Amino acid sequence: MPTDRIDIRHVARLARLALTDDEIATFGPQLGSLMTHVDALAKLDTENVAATAQVVPSRNVQREDAIRPETILARDVVLQNAPQVQGPYFRVPRIIAEEG
């Protein structure tokens, strides 16, 4: 069974999703069939296909190192969708663990 390869509780935790047991029972098989679909790709002969990270055929799209003042947002605009604001800052629930 492809679902054996997915720890759905782990995946849900990584995505910060709180799933109920019913939801896990529903989504587990659905993810499993997605995996089965991807398995079909593994059967293709890719011997002569170069590994690629991008399907767009362009390379080296870069910008000059310059400030574009017209793109900078006014602070009231920046903060307008913040769930909570304190002075000039976004206010968020206490950070409990170091990451990164």
Partner 1 sequence: MTAPYWEAVIGIECHVELKTVSKMFCGCPNEFGGEPNTKVCPVCLALPGALPVPNAMAIEYMLRAGLAFGATIPPHSKFDRKNYFYPDMPKNYQISQFDMPLTQGGVVRYWLEDGTRGECRLTRIHLEEDTGKSTHASADGRLAGATSSLIDFNRAGVPLMECVGEPDIRSADEAVAFLETLARTFRELGVSDVKMEEGSLRCDANVSIRKRGATELGTKAEIKNMNSFRSVRRAIASEIARQIEVVEGGGRVIQETRGWDEAAGVTHSQRSKEEAHDYRYFPDPDLVPIDVTADVVERVRATLTETPYERYARYVDTLGVDSKRATQLVDDAALAAWFDRAVAASDGKAQAVVAFVLGDLARLANESGTPLAAGKVTPEALAELVALTSSSAINSKAAKQIVETLWSEGGSAKAIVEREGLAQVSDRGAVEAIVDEVLAANPKVVADYKAGKTNVMGFLTGAVMKASRGKANPSLAQELLKEKLAAR
Minimum Å gap between C-beta 9 and partner 1 is 11
Q: Which residues of the shown chain bind partner 1 in the complex (CB under 8 A)? A: 10, 14, 16, 53-54, 56, 58-69, 71-73, 75, 78-79, 84, 86-100
Shortest distance, position 97 Cβ to partner 1, whole Å = 6
Distance (Å, rounded) from C-alpha 93 to C-alpha 100? 18
Cβ-based nearer residue to partner 1, 18 or 97: 97
User: Among residues 42 and 73, whose Cβ is nearest to partner 1?
Assistant: 73
Q: Provide the 10 A C-beta neighbour count for residue 83.
A: 8
**Smallest distance, Å, CB 56 to partner 1?**
6
Whether the CB-CB separation of 48 and 22 falls below 8 Å is answered with no
CA gap 39, 26 in Å, rounded: 21
Dihedral-angle region of residue 60 (phi above 0 means left; psi in -120 to 50 means alpha; beta otherwise): left
Q: Which is nearer to partner 1, 49 or 73 (CB)?
A: 73
